[in-house]
Amino acid sequence: MGLIYLNGELVPTEDAKISVYDHGLLYGDGIFEGIRVYNGHVFNLDRHIERLFNSAKVIGLKLPLSHAEIKDAVKKTVKANDIVDPYIRLVVTRGVGNLGLDPRKCANPQIIIIVDKIQLYSEELYKKGLDTVIVPTIRNHYEALNPRVKSLNYLNNIMAKIECVNVNKDEAIMLNKDGYVAECTGDNIFIIKDSELLTPPMSAGILVGITRNEVIRLAKEMEITVREEALTRYDLYTADECFLTGTAAQIISVVTIDGRTISTGKPGEITIKLLEAYRKLIYSYTGDE
Ligand code: PMP
């Protein structure tokens, strides 16, 4: 049985409970991070905590712990759970309030750390690549709820996921309000065209993925030209390769989009090279015990 970190205590999963008056539940009012551990090292922990603090700042939530204290809590929870290469879900809710929206009624943000396994896509899909669809639901407008905030309100993404499930596809690609490619429901998107790596810029209204940034860095190291620029459906359909990135998914190939086969219909050569480089990076990482 796993142990969950809940406001400073490690408690068995069945005792890890929060109030039905928590605004995290009532309104999706809170923030989170998804983090991975490889060979006992928490991968890019500082960057995740930095992003958490930025999300907190934007939604006006004052975290009750310092950066260093949250890091310690994460590492302590990983140690308390004996799982090989686990996934960490770090959640901060606004806390208990009343039935109104006013966040001033919520005095105590709740900090929850879950350490568990995750598998977003089957092994078979990693080999074969994903069949995807561009869905009608657009990504949140950045002046409504900026996708850079990793908020507990994921309904925008869930709507997109439903639209992809309804047509029996593996993943949904979301456009932004201007019709340009944004991202997927829980991953960033890249294409390869004429040996260059292209991905939507931050201004497209996306979560700025930590994996995305690592892949950009690795590609530059491999002397691949990288351009962050607005992409259309046309760019996706005519790409030489396409793949998604995320902490949980790592790098996974996309082989069809709206019924158009991407190149040969098999995971591309550069995608495979980047995945190998990424796996090498994560398994040689020693940044945090
Ligand atoms: N976009 C969205 C909407 C996400 O939820 C995530 C994380 N699951 C990502 C992109 C990828 O971000 P990261 O590489 O930091 O995990």
Instruction: Give the model confidence (pLDDT) of 9-19 as tens digits.
Output: 999 999 999 99
Select from 47, 145, 188, 190 the residue to mutate for testing ligand 1; criterion: most ligand atoms less than 8 Å from CB: 188
Tell me the mean pLDDT in the region 30-42: 97
Residue 289 has pLDDT above 90, yes or no: no
Q: Mean pLDDT across the chain, nearest whole number?
A: 97
pLDDT band at residue 287 using 50, 70 and 90 as cut-offs? confident
Tell me the mean pLDDT in the region 90-102: 98
- State the pLDDT at residue 167: 98
**Looking up tokens 């960057």, which residue turns up?**
47
pTM > 0.85: yes or no = yes
Token pair for 198: 């292209």
Are 30 and 151 in contact by the 8 Å Cβ rule? The answer is yes
- State the pLDDT at residue 60: 98
Instruction: Give the chain's domains with CATH numbers.
Output: 3-116 (3.30.470.10), 123-283 (3.20.10.10)
Tell me the mean pLDDT in the region 118-145: 95
Please enumerate in sequence order all residues whose Cβ is within 8 A of that of 49, keeping only pairs 6 or more positions apart, or say none.
Answer: 33, 67, 70, 71, 74
Please enumerate in sequence order all residues whose Cβ is within 8 A of that of 140, keeping only pairs 6 or more positions apart, or say none.
Answer: 146, 147, 156, 205
Identify the residue whose C-alpha is closest to ligand 1 atom 13: 209
Tell me the mean pLDDT in the region 213-231: 98
Residue 288 has pLDDT above 80, yes or no: no
- Please tell me the distance between residue 162's alpha carbon and the centre of ligand 1 in angstroms: 18
Does the CB atom of residue 156 touch ligand 1 within 6 A?
Answer: no
Residue 218 has pLDDT above 80, yes or no: yes
Residue 248 has pLDDT above 80, yes or no: yes
Share above pLDDT 90 across residues of the chain, in percent, rounded to a whole number: 97
- Is 76 considered catalytic here? no
pLDDT band at residue 23 using 50, 70 and 90 as cut-offs? very high
Select from 119, 171, 207 the residue to mutate for testing ligand 1; criterion: most ligand atoms less than 8 Å from CB: 207
**Cα→Cα distances 119→85, 122, 163, 200, Å:** 12, 7, 21, 25
- Write down the catalytic residue from 150, 169, 193, 273: 150
Does the CB atom of residue 151 touch ligand 1 within 6 A?
Answer: no
Identify the residue whose C-alpha is closest to ligand 1 atom 6: 186
Token pair for 173: 């690609």
